[in-house]
Amino acid sequence: MTTQHTTDIKGNLVYKPLKLSGSDSRDIKKVTQLMLDVIKTNRRLWRKEISDWQRGRQLRYSKDNPQNHLLQEVYDDVMLDGQLTGITENRTFRSTNKDYIFVDKQGKKDDKCTEYIKDKTWFENFLKITHETVYYGTGVIWLKEFNANEILTTEQI
């Protein structure tokens, strides 16, 4: 049985919006009330985010009925952060902008296999998707279009 946790957001920001224009911007009571409401709202949202993450983790690792959707929603919310997105994209770009080569069992470069991935858009997309799935825990890559000897496009599903 799963339990749903909810958080109520209350205060002037929700039910009685304050407008601080003109002389109201100098009214200490109104400005103070607005600041308190903003702080209370942020604290409630922060607690809700922590409880969502904890609940998502519990459901993901449940032995009886594992569910992944709540944890995926938390990951989506986390990736809204600009600094974190920049760091992860920088990491991905550093990997996709390198040259990759295949080597055989003896450690010698295999030029035939290396040509298969060299300067191929599908391979760069494959690496990008692979990096992104690390941030979400799981992922499936679909070889969308291909012919007999070459992959044309890949896609994350």
pLDDT at 83: 83
Stretch 65-92: mean pLDDT? 82
Residue 66's alpha-carbon distances to 16, 41, 50, 105, 146, in angstroms, are 42, 32, 19, 39, 34
pLDDT of residue 1 exceeding 80: no
pTM exceeding the 0.85 threshold for the entire prediction: no
Q: End-to-end CA distance of the chain, in Å?
A: 29
pLDDT at 9: 45
Give 15's pLDDT tier (boundaries 50, 70, 90). low
- % of the chain exceeding 90 in pLDDT: 3
Identify the burial level of 58 via C-beta atoms within 10 angstroms of its C-beta, where 0-12 means exposed, 13-18 middle and 19 or more buried. Answer: middle
Residue 125 near residue 133, CB atoms below 8 Å: no
Mean pLDDT over each residue of the chain, to the nearest integer: 78
Give 116's pLDDT tier (boundaries 50, 70, 90). confident
How far apart CA 50 and CA 70 sit, in angstroms, is 12
